[in-house]
Amino acid sequence: MSNLIRWEPMREMMTLREAMDRLFDDAFTRPLSMGAVSSVLPAIDLYQTADEVIVKAALPGLKPDEVQISITGDVLTLRGEFKQAEQKQEATWHIREQRFGVFERSVMLPSQVQTDKAKADFENGILTVTLPKAESVKPKTISIKAK
């Protein structure tokens, strides 16, 4: 005995819509490592505590004096250049994934910071920028007086 399956055109339309959604998600939210141009951008972590905003950037192979850090308004910008290792002209490359080139990475800071008290540390290829929050955005506690 054969089972009949009812055709529902709306189900087919939802499948098409889901496919289009996936297409746009892939096009506009692709990971940084997927594109050739964006592969030069350093990976970063940005988080905040009650008193500070912390940005960590992976900059392997760079020295502290090869990185420029600037803050304009609420945007932190990192600039530098990954140098290309010497070319082996007689070699045949099979895989070449090491990145090189000039980079500039800007991120919006989640709150106002005191730029004059910012500090940066560089250890084992990881740049850590610590930005104290402005007093106006720090949480304040109010004590309650009982009568």
pLDDT tens, position by position, 54-80: 999 999 888 999 999 999 988 999 999
Percent of the chain at pLDDT exceeding 70: 86
Q: Does 77 map to a domain? A: yes
Q: Does 60 map to a domain? A: yes
In single-letter form, the type of residue at position 139 comes to: P
Task: Print the domain residue range for 20.
Answer: 9-36
Count of domains in the chain? 2
* Residue 41 CB partners (closer than 8 Å, separation 6+): 32, 103, 105
Shared domain check, 74 and 109: yes
Is the distance from CB of 81 to CB of 22 less than 8 angstroms?
no
Shared domain check, 60 and 20: no
DSSP label at 90? T
Q: Does the structure show a pLDDT above 80 at 82?
A: yes
Q: Does 146 map to a domain? A: no
What's the pLDDT score for residue 76? 93
φ, ψ (nearest 5 deg) of residue 29: -125, 30
What's the pLDDT score for residue 123? 93
Shared domain check, 18 and 81: no
Q: Does 1 map to a domain? A: no
Shared domain check, 49 and 22: no
Q: Does 141 map to a domain? A: no
Whole-number Cα distances in Å, 71 to 56, 76, 103, 122, 127: 15, 5, 16, 18, 15
Q: Does 67 map to a domain? A: yes
- Residue 107 bridge partners (DSSP): 76
What's the pLDDT score for residue 12? 66
Write out pLDDT tens, residues 7-45.
777 666 667 777 777 777 777 665 544 444 445 788 999
Write out pLDDT tens, residues 118-140.
999 999 999 999 999 988 877 77
Q: Residue 57: give its domain's CATH number.
A: 2.60.40.790
Shared domain check, 80 and 29: no
> What is the mean predicted confidence (pLDDT) over 106-112?
91
Write out pLDDT tens, residues 37-51.
445 788 999 999 989
* Residue 82 CB partners (closer than 8 Å, separation 6+): 40, 61, 62, 99, 100, 101, 103
Q: Does 142 map to a domain? A: no
